[in-house]
Amino acid sequence: MKKNLIKKMFRDLRFNAVQFVSIFIMCFLAIFLLAGFDADTQGRLRSSDRYFKKTNFFDLLLTSEGFTREDIDTLEEIPEIAHAERRTSLKGKVTNCLNKKIELNFIESDEVCKLYLMEGEPFTAGKRGIWIDWHFAKVHNLSIGDTVEIDIDGKAISEPVTGIVDEPQHTNFMIDESYTEAQYGDYAYAFLDTSEYPLDDINFETAVVDLTTVENQMYLTDEDMKAFKTAKLDILDKISKTSMSIMIKPEQEAYAAQRSDCSFNDTMIAIFPSLFIVLALLSTITTMSRITAKQRTVIGTLKALGFSRKTITLHYISYTVVIAFMGCFLGLLAGYYGLGEWLIEDFYDYYSVPGGSMGMSYMVPVVALSVVVFSGVANYLSCRRLLVLSASTILMPEAPKAGGAGFIEKLFIWKHLSFATRWNLRDININRFRSVMGVFGVLICSSILMGAFGFDEILAEQDDWMYDDLRPADYTINLSDRGGYSWAYDYAREYKGQMIMTSNAELMSRTDSRLFTVTVVDKGNLYRVQNDKREYLDIPVYGAIISYKAAEALNVKKGGNISFRLPTEKKIYTVSVTDICKSPDVQGIIVSRNCFEKMGGYFDPQTVYTDMTVPVSIASDRREVTGVINKNELIHSLEKDMESMNDMVIVIIVIGMITGFTGMYNTGIMSYIEKTRDVATLKVLGFATEKIRWILQQQNLFLTGAGTILGIPVGHLYIKYLIDSMDPTADYIVDLTYLPYVKMVAFTYGLSILVNALISTRVKSINMVEALKGVE
Amino acid sequence: MSALITFENVGKIYKTGSIVYEALHDVNLEIEEGELVVILGPSGAGKSTLLNLLGGLDAASSGKIFFASEELTAFDDVKLGKFRAMDVGIIFQFYNLVPTLTAVENVALMEELGIKIMDPVKALEMVGLAERKNNFPSQMSGGQQQRVSIARALAKQPRLLLCDEPTGALDTNTGKEVLKILQDQSRVYNKTVVMVTHNALFAEVADKVIYVKNGTVVEVKHNDSPKDAFDLDW
């Protein structure tokens, strides 16, 4: 571009710094958030994809009462199946490592869900030794050749460390329910050859299957999903175990959790960057309309001097293109290397994916470039109105905008309105675009704040809801799943507790079947159920209560029937749905023990809830007890789990405030500049500064009110999006008190009044003579 | 002298919604190369419209305009732009400088039209403003700004200088100085200078005076002995 025109551009940018800084901030924030969340999502997906490909993550996971060698042979004869392996696991304690819990997996070969070797020898069938997880090895200083002493239900074994490994099924591994988030190193998982199985009879309860046609891992296609379905049908056809359940890869817990986290990122990407982009484009339109209007004479002169329309257009387009480019470029760098790195580091705290890194999709540069292009287009559209005119017309002063307050002037009330109100109503009507922009700026701010404060209240309510309303027990005793009913009964009697059985199960409706959880509840008042209005529901003597999310997924209504099959049973249970509940952490159905047993089910509880004090020491003293957790620990664990969510809420509030401030200040300044002549006239006529400031403030309060009211439903939409994007096993009750509304109104109005007060200080120092000149 | 500019039955109509306003009607005139022409008339007579058509700032609604035998009225936007860039220098009543460029940068702006112009500092020297070259318009008086505007117009050495009330915003002495510069352009450098004004006194410095009233040329007078600008009894 031309040297002197470039100088002019940079000086104009400096003289209109507020407007251009706000466009810069919007572009920066949009691409910052987009690049940050995208770096996290792409990093997760690509790293996990690489890792899963390298380790040949399973396509199907089969569970039954036991798989024989013949079953595996039959499976491998199915054309879609490349390989199948059977496995079993035991839980124990590492006696020479502070009695830490360990999950021992016994495998025959290492073709599917391969061990990712960090140190030592690769797994060899028939070889003695243990391949232990690298986090545990690191925390407990275990090296190749060290001996690990393990106690399994009273049986002691001793194994040399042969390999230090990671394993893809354990990317987000929690050894039992006492953990709500992965704490690597605090427990272990390990792999051994089946010849090392310490108990009498080995029973392979699971089988991992690799399909020939599914090569993809985290990027599954429709074809892959079809392949899962076909293979599932073929397996059910060939294997006669009616008790068998089949889990497809995307249903695996860690896999699903990663996908769910990515879906949260996608929501963040969908909401905030789009808002900022829209705001940046609207700011571009308003700013450039104002600048070109203000530089009407300059444009006319340039045209009269012989500059072509193309040159002048490109000159003015370059203003926002330069700013948008700078904002997008710096936003991309800061988003990728700042936010992205912070998010991905957080991810690797919870997920074990060796060789993980960040990533970037083509979408980020494309969106960044589009923002720059669109800002140029928006700029062109706002300048075009003037630039299409002839030089002589542009050089004529623009006629003042005519018009009144519209139909309101015809109403009886008009005559009774104050001068200030009438002046403001006319100003709003005459400058409709500017007014709509002002309302829109407030709407963006108020809706973000509404979403943030509302979500904050929902999160804050979550521990009360979970541990006061639904699971009020002071202690939870978790029992080994090998104990059966008698152990649970003994503890329930000793501590006057309530027994609960939970099991993954395939839930079947008339239209669909999915993996969910079946909870069987014994008599007592320590496991409760509520509907979406937080009203208690009685667990029916005969019938089931289904959680809202399960009902929605399976399209089941109150009064309908639901069937389920437990993983190690042949029997299909069918029960009527008596109610729909909201469940914060487990989705599926809840039935009473009485109902379950009447249907012929075997009540096998793993959890006892009690209000009596349970000594924590029994978890280490008694082998049947896998954990004793008191309520405070659960609340603390939940709060810790919510910490990142709370951080996110604070980030959203800050974003809302920044957006609000820049949006309001930008439109406020523009509005004030457009009103300068009116303000000067009022001042010349003798209006006091404070009186004029109050007139301006009145219009501001009115527009803020309109934006705030419109922000409420939009804010509720944000909340819905946020909740929908959370972990699929989690649910929330949206029953807001007046507080989020009060906070939102207070913050929005506070910001608006502050911005207006800042802008209207200019009234005092306005140069009446300059302002009333006919030309620039 | 041969006619540099010829108007043949030129008319200009402005339409605003349903309102039609005839600014010029059946205008015929000729302007010779090197002449200093003053267009005189009351407010609303059509002087500025005439000037706009002369400079290719606006298009005629009817009739033909010729510049050095080329028909301006047949030019498209691009050709008109080139015409303004190459052949016309415009001086406005309110100077119309770019406020964010210094004096020398305002003159140098013409370089960016892709044409060869004289050294911007030399152009400023011609109007006696070389020492203020790095001042922004807001740091100069009205007369100084008008001289920068003239330097900007002169820098590209156009054949035609169009001036719209060039002294309208200036005091008497400054006005005379500006007028003298413009007169010299015609007398010394053989530039065609067309000046629009409502000040009848300027008729005394012109070679030709065109009287405009109600959108038509009512009289064209030739002045055989034009006065020097400084001799005007202003």
Residues 79-108 of B with CB under 8 A from A: 81-86, 88, 90, 92, 94, 96-101, 105, 108
ipTM, two decimals: 0.73
For the stretch A69-95, pLDDT in tens is: 999 999 999 999 999 999 999 988 899
pLDDT digits (tens, 9 = 90+) for A427-437: 888 888 888 88
Residue ending a domain, among A399, A420, A442, is A399
Question: Which token pair is A564?
Answer: 């389920």
| pLDDT on residue A749 | 92
A623-644 residue pLDDT tens: 778 788 888 888 887 887 777 7
In a domain, A625, yes or no: no
Cβ–Cβ under 8 Å, residues B218 and B39: no
Q: Got the DSSP string for A548-609? A: HHHHHHHT--TT-EEEEE-TT----EEEEEEEEEB-SS--EEEEEHHHHHHTT------EEE
Nearest-by-Cβ selection for B85 from A12, A306, A775: A306
Measured distance CA(A444)–CA(A667) in Å, rounded: 13
- On whether both A42 and A67 belong to a single domain, the answer is no
The closest alpha carbon to A540, from A507, A508, A579, belongs to: A579
Percent of chain A with pLDDT over 90: 39
In a mutational test of the A interface, the residue from B14, B54, B79, B112 whose CB has the highest number of chain A CBs within 10 Å is B112
Using the predicted structure, report yes or no on whether residue A282 has a pLDDT greater than 90.
Answer: no
A407 assigned to some structural domain: no
- Domain match, A276 and A329 both: yes
Mean pLDDT value of segment A500-514: 87
Domain hosting A347: range is 1-56+254-399
Q: Which of A4, A15, A391 has the CB atom closest to B112's CB atom?
A: A4
Give the model confidence (pLDDT) of A33-57 as tens digits: 999 999 999 999 999 999 999 999 9
Q: How far is A772 from chain B (nearest CA, A)?
A: 16
Considering only CB atoms, A390 lies closest to which of B58, B96, B113, namely B58
Is there a contact between B96 and A303 if contact means CB atoms under 8 Å apart? no
Q: Which residues on chain A place their C-beta less than 8 Å from a C-beta of chain B?
A: 2-5, 7-8, 11-12, 15, 297-298, 300-309, 311, 390-393, 395, 775-776
pLDDT band at A241 (very low <50, low <70, confident <90, very high): low
pLDDT classification of A776: cutoffs 50, 70, 90 = very low
Number of domains in chain A: 4
Q: Is B151 on the interface with A (CB under 8 A)?
A: no
| Domain assignment present for A289 | yes
Cβ-Cβ contacts under 8 Å, B57 against chain A = 303-304, 390-392, 395
Q: Are A52 and A66 contained in the same domain?
A: no
> Is the per-residue pLDDT at A766 higher than 80?
no
Q: Which of residues 164-223 of B touch A (CB under 8 A)?
A: none
Q: Which residue of A has its CA nearest to B77?
A: A308
> Confidence class of residue A660 from pLDDT cuts 50, 70 and 90?
confident
Give the C-alpha distances (Å, rounded to integers) separating A254 from A182, A506, A521, A538, A633: 11, 18, 27, 33, 24
What is the tens place of the pLDDT at every residue in A296-306?
888 888 888 88
A735 lies in a domain? yes
A737 with A648, same domain: the answer is yes
Q: Is 80 exceeded by the pLDDT of residue A316?
A: yes
Query: Mean pLDDT across the stretch A468-474?
Result: 92
Quick one: pLDDT at residue B116?
A: 83
Instruction: Quickly count: other Cβ atoms within 10 Å of residue B143's Cβ.
Output: 20
Same-domain check for residues A487 and A459 = no
C-beta atoms of A4 and B108 within 8 A: yes
- Pick the closest to residue B104 from B121, B125, B127, B128 (CA basis): B121
Same domain assignment for residues A525 and A479: yes
Give the C-alpha separation, A326 to B167, whole Å: 45
* pLDDT value of position A55: 93
Average of per-residue pLDDT across A699-724: 90
Tally of structural domains, chain B: 1
| Domain that includes residue B174, residue range | 3-231
Q: CA B181 to CA A340: how far, in whole Å?
A: 65
Higher pLDDT, A726 or B44: B44
Residues A363, A298 within the same domain:
yes
Whether residues A275 and A216 share a domain: the answer is no
One-letter amino acid for residue A147 of the chain: T
Q: What's the confidence (pLDDT) of residue A399?
A: 60
Q: Read off the CATH number of the domain in which A552 is found.
A: 2.40.70
* In a domain? residue A621: no
Same domain as A334, residue A189: no
Closest C-alpha among A49, A33, A34 to residue A362:
A34
Question: Burial, A574: exposed, middle or buried (Cβ in 10 Å; 0-12, 13-18, 19+)?
Answer: exposed
* Position A412 in a domain: no
Q: pLDDT of A355-369, one tens digit each?
A: 888 889 999 999 999
Nearest CB partner across the interface for B101, out of A8, A307, A395? A8
Does residue A497 sit in the same domain as residue A560? yes
Same domain, A552 and A496: yes
Which candidate from B58, B100, B113 shows the least CB-CB separation from A306?
A: B113
- CB nearest to B59's CB, from A297, A308, A390: A390
Residue B48: list chain A partners with CB under 8 A: 392
Domain of B190: which CATH number?
Answer: 3.40.50.300
